[in-house]
Amino acid sequence: MAQLNMTGWVAIGVPAALTIRLITVAATALLAGRPRPCRWIASGGSALASALSAMVALQVIAAGRSIEGFLFLHGASGIAFGYTVTPLSAWFLIVLGIVAVPVALYSVPYLAHAVAPSRTALAGAGFNVLLGSVEAVFVANEAVAFLCAWEVMTLSTAALVALEHEQRSSRQAAYLYLVMSHVGAGCLLAAFLILGSHAGSLSFPVMFAVTGLSGSLRDTLFVLFLVGFGVKAGLIPFHIWLPEAHPAAPTNVSTLMSAVLITTGIYGLYRFCAFGLGVPDQAWALGLMGLGMLSALLGVLYALAQTDLKRLLAYSTIENSGIIVLGLGAGMMARAHGHSTLASVAVAASLLHVLNHAVFKGLLFLGAGSVVMANGTRNIEHYGGLLRRMPWTGLFFIAGAMAISGLPLLNGFPSEWLTFQALLMGFTSTAGVVRLNFPLAGAALALTTALSAVCFVRAFGITFLALPRSPQAARAHESPLLMLLPQAWLALLCVGLGLFPGVALGALEGVIASLPGLQSAPMTAGPGGMSSGIGSFDAVIPGLLGVAALTAFLATFLATRRGVVRRVSTWACGGTLTPQTEYTATAFSKPLLMIFTSIYRPRREVDALAGASPYFPQEVRYRAEIEPTFERYVYAPLVRLVLRAASGMRVLQAGSLHTYLAYVLVLAVILLMWLGGTP
């Protein structure tokens, strides 16, 4: 382990990064009237700050020890905001840096095309405030700083989601996001106050060290933390804000929301639910595994029914969040049964998936942003044939699509492989009926992976292949170089992390060692291999298969090469081939909608507008929608209940000053009587 030089740049790295961000925000605000330098300053400052904090984080992971310091220190009043970069925080900071730097580069041309010049300063400043608050969340070491950073993160995201506030959907999405986030933040506040009052301090190390909490109190804290962080992580049933907010925000913000904001929720689940309340109960672990499975399955099923490209990606984020939480739940189950090595395998799988998801989801969102910018619409049914017009975007998008489908040679496969290992070894290590949970989770994970492959064949195929389905798609042109380079970098990372999973896993060993109750397992077999860590259950070297597959591919390609290939038009059953004969995205997922009809409950309306005769309709209107189960059956009744309670309480606001004075008098008397006796 390398020696950590605390007196060097590492000691001031985190405060320096935050200072750079503050300066960038100020400069962006000052340059509000000049969009071009404003964009460059905002993106450049953001990239610099993200890179700096990621480098500090790398040092922390390499050394395996936390670093501490102060962000703000006022000697006279004693106000101090400290920070601690634990190896776990460092891992999340690295994930942040890996995504934030390309997104910053992407923002420069993107903001020019997608955001009005008058809003550029707000977009740039908001971007930096968002990233700065996320970094502060990861490094906060006491509750007040944590909650302040959490709130700033929520508000800046809401501001960015509502950037195009002329559109009603943006306003509604931002409002929904604010309400859900504050419900979560309320739960977090309650949990911190309860835990803090028992521990006597709001500092995290003290709070985590408290013992002697009763079972029901621990359960309450667990549920409060779960709700609070589950909202941010996008776990079902707290997910309803995610599919609205992600599409409404500009793409650089959507990318960050999917890749980074979700991870703040995951980080909270790790720090508080899994490793902050002592040894977890089996019921908690089962709860997390169940929520993870539900999120994964429902996320991908809803993604399959979407025709809005960014909404599809948002639901896919819910799916991957579910997979991460499933791994975490399996780890907690192992810890509950005392298997610390197995727990480390499950936690490693989960953290690895955090990194891999950020990389491929970032890539997919950037590609989607380019496509939306070129076409002017988010509706997949209006795309088509974009591979000819946007070849590089298409190439990078297919790399992301293959990665998210968990195919070998790309980075989705190693983390899902490791999650399977954790689940299977969990099955053999536990006893009793509860062990059947693991093969059930394994089957759910297999179904999720396969369904996400269907989803992304659909997304890529309908968007980029065949003929353009609208005039805009026929006129689309490739994105500028600064938007392609970040995608190329992320695609290269997808391939690199897929062929050399041992590198990321090796970095995780330091993180695993720092978490309480986990024992490191030898999960790497060189930079190119992974093993299941316990016994010799399984091992994989994707690169070896890659060599075999590449050899076979090249041999086949060269052997079947022909000089001249005859190109003819596709047979359209005797008619002319038009875009109308192509398969649509709705049709592609229709079999699955029919098979899972009990989950989707689809409804459709078909109107045929008759022309001269009802047998020759002039126009056919088709409208299909799936049942918004959670919005209609969970949240709508809740909202109605809250509104009813609020209007019931309106009788208290009589409007008369005398009544209010009477309230104060009565309350004062009651309080005196109640508290008067206590010393």
Partner 1 sequence: MIPDPLFTTAWALLHAGGMLAAAPLLKTVIKKMKARLQNRQGPPLLQGYYDLAKLLQKEPVRSETASWVFVAGPRVYFAAAVAATTLVPVLFASAPLEAAGGILLLVGTLALGRFALATAALDTGSPFGGMGASRDMTIAALAEPALMLGLFASALAAGTMNLGVLVRGLVERGPAWHPSDLLAFAGLFVIVIAETGRIPVDNPATHLELTMIHEAMVLEYSGPDLALVEWASAVKELLYLTLLVNLFMPIGIATSVEAGAVLTSLLAWGGKIFVLAVAVTVAESTNAKLRLFRVPELLSVSLGLAFLALAIRFL
Name the residue nearer to partner 1 (CB basis): 109 or 461.
461
Sign (positive/negative) of CA torsion 169, 306, 489, 386? Answer: negative
83 has which bridge partners? 69, 140
Can residue 569 be called a binding residue for partner 1 (CB under 8 A)? yes
Burial of 562 (0-12, 13-18, 19+ CB in 10 A): exposed
**Smallest gap from residue 520 Cβ to partner 1 (A):** 21
From the list 29, 155, 447, 488, which residue makes contact with partner 1 (rule: CB under 8 A)?
A: 447
Q: Which of 249, 289, 326, 402 binds partner 1 (CB under 8 A)?
A: 402
* Residue 576 in contact with partner 1, rule: CB under 8 A: no
506 binds partner 1 (CB under 8 A): no
- Interface pick for partner 1 out of 537, 622, 633, 660 (rule CB under 8 A): 537
Residue 636 is a binding residue for partner 1 (CB under 8 A): no
List all residues 6 or more positions away from 99 whose beta carbon is below 8 Å from its beta carbon.
255, 256, 259, 260, 358, 359, 362, 490
154/320 with CB nearer partner 1? 320
- Rule CB under 8 A: choose which of 591, 611, 617, 637 binds partner 1: 591
Question: CA geometry: angle at 391 spanning 397 and 301, to 5°?
Answer: 25
Query: Taking the CB of residue 165, how many other CB atoms lie within 10 A of it?
Result: 13
Query: Is there binding between residue 650 and partner 1 (CB under 8 A)?
Result: no
Query: Which contacts (CB < 8 Å, 24+ apart) does range 445-448 have?
Result: 445/293, 445/296, 445/323, 445/326, 445/416, 445/419, 445/420, 447/297, 448/296, 448/297, 448/300, 448/319, 448/322, 448/323
Of 191, 207, 451, 521, which one interacts with partner 1 (CB under 8 A)?
Answer: 451
Check residue 466 for interaction with partner 1 (CB under 8 A). yes
Tokens of 409: 């040679």
Binding flag, residue 616, partner 1 (CB under 8 A): no
With respect to partner 1, which residue has the nearer C-beta, 115 or 540? Answer: 540
Q: Measuring CA to CA, which residue among 132, 152, 123, 141 is closest to residue 250?
A: 123
By beta-carbon proximity to partner 1, the closer residue of 335 and 458 is 458
User: Residues touching partner 1: how many (CB under 8 A)?
Assistant: 85
Residue 30, interface with partner 1 (CB under 8 A)?
no
Q: Could you tell me which stretch among 157-165, 323-331, 576-584, 652-660 binds partner 1 (CB under 8 A)?
A: 576-584
d(CA 67, CA 242): 34
In this chain, which of 49, 261, 358, 387 binds partner 1, going by CB under 8 A? 387
- Find out whether 60 and 90 touch, Cβ atoms under 8 Å: yes
Which residue of 73, 80, 279, 550 would you call a contact of partner 1, by CB under 8 A?
550
Contacts 24+ apart (CB under 8 A), 600-604: 600/301, 600/305, 600/626, 600/627, 601/626, 601/627, 601/629, 602/305, 602/626, 602/627, 603/627
Please report how close the Cβ of residue 611 comes to partner 1 at its closest, in angstroms.
Answer: 25
Does position 446 interact with partner 1 (CB under 8 A)? The reply is yes
Binding status of residue 471 toward partner 1 by CB under 8 A: no
- Contact segment (CB under 8 A) with partner 1 among 233-241, 244-252, 258-266, 433-441 equals 433-441
* Cβ-based nearer residue to partner 1, 118 or 428: 428
DSSP alpha helix (H) spans, 64-118: 87-114
**Six token digits for residue 561:** 């090469």
287 phi, psi to nearest 5 deg? -60, -45
Shortest separation between residue 433's beta carbon and partner 1, angstroms: 7
Sole binder of partner 1 in the list 5, 118, 519, 556 (CB under 8 A): 556
Could you tell me the smallest distance in angstroms from the CB atom of residue 142 to partner 1? 43
* 465 lies in the binding site for partner 1 (CB under 8 A): yes
Q: Given CA atoms 449, 502, 89, 15 in this order, what sign does their dihedral have?
A: negative
Contact call for residue 548 and partner 1 (CB under 8 A)? yes
- Candidates 536, 576, 598, 653: give the one binding partner 1 (CB under 8 A): 536
Which of 479, 529, 522 has its CA nearest to residue 501? 529
34: its two tokens: 């000049």
* Residues in 51-80 at the binding interface with partner 1, rule: CB under 8 A: none
Binding part of the chain for partner 1, among 141-149, 233-241, 555-563, 659-667 by CB under 8 A, reads: 555-563
* CB closer to partner 1, 30 vs 595: 595
385 binds partner 1 (CB under 8 A): yes
